[in-house]
Amino acid sequence: MGEPSTWYSRPAAKRWRTTAPGSGLDYHRSLAGYAPTPLVELPSLAAELRVGRVLLKDESSRLGLPAFKILGASWAVCRALCQRLGQDPERMTVPRLAGLLRQEGAPGKLPVLVTATDGNHGRAIARMARLLGVEARIHVPAGLGVAALEGIRGEGARLVEEEAVYDDVVARAAASVEGSESDVLIQDTAWEGYTQVPQWIVDGYTTLFREIDDALQVQGGSPDLLACPVGVGSLAQALVEHYRSRPGPGPALLGVEPDSAACLTRSLQAGAPITVDTSVPTLMAGLNCGSVSSLGWPLLSAGMDAAVGVTEGQCRRAVQDLEELAQDAGPCGAAALAGTRNALAVTARRRELGVTEDSVVVLVNTEGRAANPLV
């Protein structure tokens, strides 16, 4: 396979500690249809990667959507609207929140949920708007796939298609809410002056990692390596906050990105956040982000053991290999397998990650093929 073209490692990350994150788990449990998503054992991949076990955290059907994003979107929407209404989010449910919003008055006075997205986050925000009986306005970049666009439209949201790359669309969505009394921006990346909502989104994502731990604890085990796809870094931030807030060395944490949009890996190599060009399309549309969230950067730079890039061909192979194993993984989700293959193909990098023939490896499959079909 050869060395991956984009790589960074920091073995000292296992010793770094941060404070425990917030949690939206109780709120998620109140949502209709909530259940922990599967953690699937894949022995053939364990044999290929020369490790003890490989487990796939399958987010291809999370609360009726083909990706994990609803975890962060639902909790951030709850927190933002409860703040607006003067309500306690810890005691809130969707039906109660919808009822409180109806009491606000005529539709023209109801909040409008606004975000920029490269797919799954926008659909999750649109779903929450539909459940709550409010409007959503979703800004999307040029080149977003038909399936993603149709998914957002299918939730009843107003779609604003921008002729711009993702980072510029985020700026336009943020500018569009300025001066509005009704618009509520629910963006999954942070910048100076905008950190509270992105942190609520990160807190919502920790449910995914709580579920992984609970499932493994039943079996008397724990992960040694977790591979997580990275876009702007919010899910990776949740990964770091969850595992680096616990005593002991903890697992190795591996971020995976497209080689063509490796904003985290390039920033880690540079020692400071940098922006990369994302004008070249990638199969991994949801990971085609040019900048790391400013909220996540301090944690990612201190707490991630490694980051690796994957090519289009490596990603395509991973999707197809998982399909042969009866696993529903879109390109972003399958990137976790492609990146793990790249990392573990090099003996020195296995050693840096502390991976042995007995290690338990967890791949975070963030989306199903319905979210982002392989074309």
CB atoms under 10 Å from CB of 106, counted, come to 6
pLDDT at 19: 95
Query: Residue 86 CA to chain centroid, in angstroms?
Result: 29
In-domain check, residue 43: yes
pLDDT at 331: 96
Domain tally for the chain?
Answer: 2
Reference 325, options 58, 2, 37; nearest CA is 58
221 and 174 in a common domain:
no
CATH assignment of the domain containing 181? 3.40.50.1100
The residue from 191, 214, 244 where one domain ends is 191
The residue from 191, 209, 233 where one domain ends is 191
In-domain check, residue 371: no
In-domain check, residue 1: no
361 and 234 in a common domain:
yes
In-domain check, residue 95: yes
pLDDT at 322: 98
Q: Is the dihedral of CA 273, 5, 120, 25 positive or negative?
A: negative
In-domain check, residue 37: yes
Residues counted in the chain = 375
354 and 233 in a common domain:
yes
In-domain check, residue 375: no
60 and 82 in a common domain:
no
Rounded Cα–Cα distance for residues 231 and 255 (Å) = 10
The CA-atom distances, in angstroms, between 73 and each of 14, 85, 205, 235 are 29, 18, 9, 12
The residue from 191, 221, 250 where one domain ends is 191
In-domain check, residue 354: yes
In-domain check, residue 338: yes
pLDDT at 373: 84
Range of the domain at 118: 69-191
pTM of the full structure = 0.93
**Mean of all residue pLDDT scores within the chain:** 94
Angle, helix 234-243 to helix 196-218, in steps of 10 degrees: 50
322 and 207 in a common domain:
yes
CB atoms under 10 Å from CB of 33, counted, come to 8
Query: Tens of pLDDT along the chain (375 residues)?
Result: 444 458 999 999 999 999 999 999 999 998 999 999 999 999 999 999 999 999 999 999 999 999 999 999 999 999 999 999 999 999 899 999 999 998 876 556 799 999 999 889 999 999 999 999 999 999 999 888 888 899 999 999 999 999 999 999 999 999 999 999 999 999 998 899 999 999 999 999 999 999 999 999 998 889 999 999 999 999 999 999 999 999 888 999 999 999 999 999 999 999 999 999 999 999 998 899 999 999 999 999 999 999 999 999 999 999 999 999 999 999 999 999 999 999 999 999 999 999 999 999 999 999 999 988 887
pLDDT at 193: 94
337 and 261 in a common domain:
yes
pLDDT tens track for 198-234? 999 999 999 999 999 999 999 888 999 999 999 999 9
Q: Which helix (H) or strand (E) holds 114?
A: strand 112-116
247 and 357 in a common domain:
yes
221 and 175 in a common domain:
no
203 and 187 in a common domain:
no
Rounded Cα–Cα distance for residues 118 and 265 (Å) = 20
218 and 136 in a common domain:
no
346 and 206 in a common domain:
yes
343 and 332 in a common domain:
yes
